[in-house]
Structure 1
């Protein structure tokens, strides 16, 4: 498919093809082959392909070509669920669009809103944004307008349109012109995306990479579980890493956790016991997130703790091992997480820490991926030896974290969410504070 066609066959300008060549992109991928000509033709597009398949260029290249024919700002809006993905997309626009001095603005949380407002008032050609922060700007300032955009791109569309961002999406869509080209891209086709085709009043093409229907996880991925009780999970985690490091000293490891707090505490704990790592979650300051990700990509640091903000879209091609510290509640999230490894034909390994209460979740995952996970044997004698040290270090990390401003930052986000849900923020905060005090008292007892 992609081998049959070149970029010349896709009706792209010569200078755009030359720019692709300078970044090592010599020939189009299947999703680019199918979507670029249709987007240039002016139809709406729904495209689904695995992470790493070239989805970003599938929409960026035709948008840049249309922009150079009629340049003005704000020409295109790209919505994406995570900050890191927003920066990654903006980088690709900036590199390809350099000859026409393309101006991109990234509008995400964690950055000063006044500074972002100034950027938007200068009418950049491309705005790449997370829904929450863009909705905040639309509700609070009148220095820019989205009423003339030609393109709306919704990246990781299954996640953005899955319900979590409904209020923000509603605010954003209300500010957009009816006459626009809609491009929806995702790693999976869901019922929501299928319904978009039915309700659209324009011609819509839907492309799904055939490989998505074949297998949920690739053959090069070895998948295991480690059965353990909740109380000793962290000791098992450390032992899994130790045993893996005996065989592979240099491989990069991503460890997925369920919450921001868990991610931060585990990162602090492992740093204390000698495993240099960085953490990536939504409570980290934005500059820290970008710096940590850069260290991991460059292999300066070889262990990354992350929430599901790192499970989609990010281009991290050299991960050797994915560890699920928590079993994802939604089986599809497991596919996205383990999809961080065994990429581009490489061998990869995924290990999930499983407690007895997680067995039903594992069964749902195995049913979806049509694969039975094998047990990964860990030296339990060694787990016993390190259990006390790891438990005490984790408790100390909890206390250190609570002495900082993590709880306060989390509370601001929670209050905002409660207000959007129609709950009384003061009542909810009182309930949370009682729970927090009980937990803190318990941790103090454990650390003695």
Structure 2
């Protein structure tokens, strides 16, 4: 196919695509747009950065332009940031028909959202949790007349147990007669099972590829001892920014706490950055992402909430501070660079404990990571400085009672469900102790304290040695 017109799209949509710099359809758009226009349910799987959002947005907007009413389509997505990005794409592509898009996510004013839903927007883009909350708290709006249901990042929505109950509440409120569209970068058993069990005809297209990641992506690793990982991270970051000052970098890490600690360390060591994780208030998440997208800040430190769907063209380096436990999470992370034919670099920090996970990733993506060159003597020079910055960040975080609010909300939820928070916590710790080869809580605390003391003694010895050398 050479143009969007040949896919059956109207001239106004073709012109809108041209104005956005999208000259011709990508593979997933070429294969999925015609069957969606024909009224078929659709499952589309393609590599990250291949234009999946436009593959469902364009046919929905064309059908909406013929039969304008609201709500016309519901788009569900696992993360808040992705919901806002999809809404922006609908607004840009549907500018000609003045499309009304409403974003319903957690962390925003629920009363205002309720009002937005009552004025019947054409497109509703939402995370499952907040939409389920609206359905349970009031009945001032209805989605019984929608024509389209879209599950973007369908693998995460269908396989994450946290979404199951919420999706059940939502699906009960939707009409049976509708088109259902599922899009993802990775085909999973859950998507395949849904496709097979569907009573209606389903058009399914999966991009054929020997390698799971795009050709333009240069994938590397750095092997180091776990104790010096942070120093290697700062060394790689410094080298890259010195060489490419206009470059934007995303650093992925495993937990909210690590993301916060790393962002505080980077600020302390002279790398201005923003963080993005689920324990930040929504206004800070949005403002931080906005600063990063507008190039005010060049470094974003995030958990996997940023690994899905975010399209930021200036990102040309991804650093994995940890190797993800699930190989498909690696695919989504590194998919934030080398998008739409552009080049990109992904570097994964591998410690002695991560070798088996790295091998799993290589087997999954069907390609070998190459070694990234580093200067070990330079890393050793900044080792103490980085260790001090980390310790200070940890102390400041403890003083802030990081995570306290989440703990309080969890207790409230358990009390509302008629459960005893203390009993639930005891059961959780008992299970954890069982997994930890029968170690009790006291034993683990003692071991943790011992490790801390060992680190402190090690650090003070190094400090004394460096002082004596200076004399």
Q: Tell me the TM-score normalized by structure 1.
A: 0.90
3-state DSSP of counterpart to 2:354: helix
> 1:422–1:245: structure 2 CA closer, same or farther, 3 Å change rule?
farther
Out of 111, 126, 148, the position equivalent to 1:114 is 111
Alignment of 1:302 with 2:322, yes or no, is no
CA distance in 2, matches of 1:414, 1:314: 29
Alignment of 1:62 with 2:75, yes or no, is no
Q: Which residue in the other structure is 1:49 paired with?
A: 46
CA distance in 2, matches of 1:227, 1:413: 40
Cα deviation for residue 423 of structure 1 reads 7.0
CA distance in 2, matches of 1:224, 1:252: 18
Out of 259, 264, 269, the position equivalent to 1:268 is 264
> 1:23–1:342: structure 2 CA closer, same or farther, 3 Å change rule?
closer
CA distance in 2, matches of 1:288, 1:116: 19
Out of 191, 194, 197, the position equivalent to 1:193 is 191
Check whether the contact 2:28–2:55 (CA below 8 A) recurs between aligned residues: yes
CA distance in 2, matches of 1:172, 1:349: 39
CA distance in 1, matches of 2:346, 2:302: 15
3-state DSSP of counterpart to 2:37: helix
Check whether the contact 2:312–2:336 (CA below 8 A) recurs between aligned residues: yes
Check whether the contact 1:399–1:443 (CA below 8 A) recurs between aligned residues: no
Out of 15, 36, 46, the position equivalent to 1:18 is 15
Alignment of 1:129 with 2:99, yes or no, is no
Check whether the contact 1:86–1:129 (CA below 8 A) recurs between aligned residues: yes
- Give a deviation string over 1:299-343, Cα, whole Å, max 9, x none: 221111111122221111232221111110001111221222233
Q: Which residue in the other structure is 1:214 paired with?
A: 210
Cα deviation for residue 16 of structure 1 reads 2.5
> 1:426–1:86: structure 2 CA closer, same or farther, 3 Å change rule?
same
Q: Which residue in the other structure is 1:142 paired with?
A: 139
Q: Which residue in the other structure is 2:178 paired with?
A: 180
- Give a deviation string over 1:216-266, Cα, whole Å, max 9, x none: 233433322222232322112111212333433332211110011110110
Alignment of 1:366 with 2:329, yes or no, is no
Check whether the contact 2:48–2:309 (CA below 8 A) recurs between aligned residues: yes
Cα deviation for residue 52 of structure 1 reads 2.2
Check whether the contact 2:101–2:121 (CA below 8 A) recurs between aligned residues: yes
3-state DSSP of counterpart to 1:357: coil
> 1:417–1:221: structure 2 CA closer, same or farther, 3 Å change rule?
farther
Out of 155, 159, 166, the position equivalent to 1:158 is 155
Q: Which residue in the other structure is 1:332 paired with?
A: 328
Consecutive unaligned residues of structure 2, counting only runs of 5 or more, are 430-440, 461-471
> 1:420–1:344: structure 2 CA closer, same or farther, 3 Å change rule?
farther
CA distance in 1, matches of 2:344, 2:246: 13
Out of 18, 34, 39, the position equivalent to 1:37 is 34
Cα deviation for residue 350 of structure 1 reads 1.8
Check whether the contact 1:84–1:290 (CA below 8 A) recurs between aligned residues: yes
Cα deviation for residue 5 of structure 1 reads 3.4
3-state DSSP of counterpart to 1:250: coil
CA distance in 2, matches of 1:221, 1:151: 34
Alignment of 1:82 with 2:82, yes or no, is no
Check whether the contact 2:39–2:179 (CA below 8 A) recurs between aligned residues: yes
Point out the more displaced range, 396-405 or 316-325: 396-405
> 1:40–1:371: structure 2 CA closer, same or farther, 3 Å change rule?
closer
CA distance in 2, matches of 1:416, 1:11: 52
CA distance in 2, matches of 1:49, 1:21: 22
CA distance in 1, matches of 2:308, 2:419: 31
Consecutive unaligned residues of structure 1, counting only runs of 5 or more, are none
CA distance in 2, matches of 1:423, 1:255: 38
Q: Which residue in the other structure is 1:316 paired with?
A: 312
Check whether the contact 1:10–1:36 (CA below 8 A) recurs between aligned residues: yes
Q: Which residue in the other structure is 1:234 paired with?
A: 230
CA distance in 2, matches of 1:379, 1:287: 39
- Give a deviation string over 1:11-50, Cα, whole Å, max 9, x none: 2233232333332333222222222221121110111112
> Aligned pair count?
442
Cα deviation for residue 441 of structure 1 reads 11
Bigger Rg, which one: 2
Alignment of 1:406 with 2:407, yes or no, is no
3-state DSSP of counterpart to 1:154: strand
CA distance in 2, matches of 1:186, 1:178: 23
CA distance in 2, matches of 1:11, 1:80: 27
Point out the more displaced range, 157-166 or 372-381: 372-381
Q: Which residue in the other structure is 2:435 paired with?
A: none
Q: Tell me the TM-score normalized by structure 2.
A: 0.86
Alignment of 1:379 with 2:387, yes or no, is no
